[in-house]
Chains A and B, each alone.
Chain A
């Protein structure tokens, strides 16, 4: 029962470094999402992929890129990390899309940019 798996769990970057957060789901869901969670601000959508081969911007896409590698995998890339990107990042998937069926979340990646 893996569900949604994110790697790494923790990461520390210096300003300007790049990295990719990996996400994979084994539930055969069509839709996948990347959120960030900051204190007092709830979850904010960065990018999403409604189906394999498509990606769209969410509320806070600046500074990020995504790749929907196949139906299972959806990665998030920070090209040049900034301290403002210090956050907890969650990947999620949904069978029918957010709003039609629940989101299933991974355990998160805690990213610190110094």
Chain B
């Protein structure tokens, strides 16, 4: 079964810290990886990396795909309380039926 595992499941840091969230997968044949941020309601899109891409950046957030380690990390530098959210990653697999599989999410809390 295609599986996506995120770690840690929960993380509490102080404002200004840098955090690294991890997303690993167990199938090598995928088309893309997506990261979403979920505050109180709907998940909102952050990044999409294709299997041929390596890194994306947007302000204090960046995401790297490590195809050798079958994982992706989401880095947030100089964290702010507004970064508190659940961060979801999802892989779009193309082995058998094409499908987007989400990880369980990492709950990030930034304390002032």
Write the residues of chain A forming the contact surface with B, with a CB cutoff of 8 angstroms: 4, 40-45, 58-59, 90, 98-108
Contact = CB atoms under 8 A, between A and B. Distances in A.
B48 to A, nearest CB: 6
Contacts of B44: 105
Contact-size category for B: 20 to 34
A106 B44 CA distance: 10
B103 A42 contact: yes
A105 B42 contact: yes
Nearest to A38: B104
B34 interface: yes
A32 to B, nearest CB: 13
A40 B86 CA distance: 11
Given A58-B99, A90-B43, A102-B45, 8 more contacts: A41-B104, A42-B105, A43-B43, A43-B88, A90-B42, A101-B48, A103-B34, A103-B43
Nearest to A91: B42
B60 interface: no
Given A90-B42, A103-B45, A106-B42, A42 B32 contact: no
